[in-house]
Amino acid sequence: MKVPRHILLTNSSDIYGGGEFYVLELAKELTKRGHTIIVTCKPDNLLCRKCNDAGIQTNPLDFPPQGKLFSFVKKLKDIIQQHNIQIVHTNTNYDRTAGAFAARLCGVTHVTNVHSFHSLQHNPTHWVRNTWATDHFLVDGVCVKELLVRDDGISSGKISI
């Protein structure tokens, strides 16, 4: 068995859809494999309730509106340090950015999932996140990988299907 890790899974979505289902199932599987998992998601949403029902530790955060990125980076940084997190795994655009910067500030690995077929780079902050603060991208298929390489300039070596 590989060495157990302390992993923070993040999801800032208000809804419960495919990406949120993915976070829940990933948390369950990683827990079965002996890893310590914490999920940050909005309080009182379906993902939070499903994680709690499954025995997955949650640290609910009321994700702030845009424009409060730095305060959210600090909140995630505090969680990372408090729980000795080694890997931050993000899943939606807002938590992808905040999680990447918090992970980099703490010197831990940042991995992100791309659940859709569109560019991740909409502004200079995203360019910094994708280039400097994200260690690896996980995508659903070849076409998404090709899009991230072509449209966002992400090295193909940083992307797994």
Over residues 103-146, the pLDDT tens digits come to 999 999 999 999 888 777 878 888 889 888 999 999 999 999 99
Q: Which residues of 92-106 are buried (b: 16+ CB within 10 A; e: fewer)?
A: bbbbbbbbbbbbbeb
Assess contact for 22 and 115: CB atoms under 8 A: yes
Residue 7 structure tokens: 């992993």
Please give the C-alpha separations between residue 80 and each of 99, 144, 157, in angstroms, as whole numbers.
Answer: 10, 29, 26
Strand ranges in the chain using DSSP code E only, listed in sequence order: 6-10, 36-40, 57-58, 87-90, 109-114, 136-139, 159-160
Q: pLDDT tens for residues 67-105? A: 788 889 999 999 999 999 999 999 988 899 999 999 999
pLDDT at residue number 94: 86
Tokens of 90: 């993000």
pTM, two decimals, is 0.93
Please give the mean pLDDT across all residues of the chain.
Answer: 92
What count of Cα atoms within 13 Å lies in the side-chain half-sphere of residue 53? 9
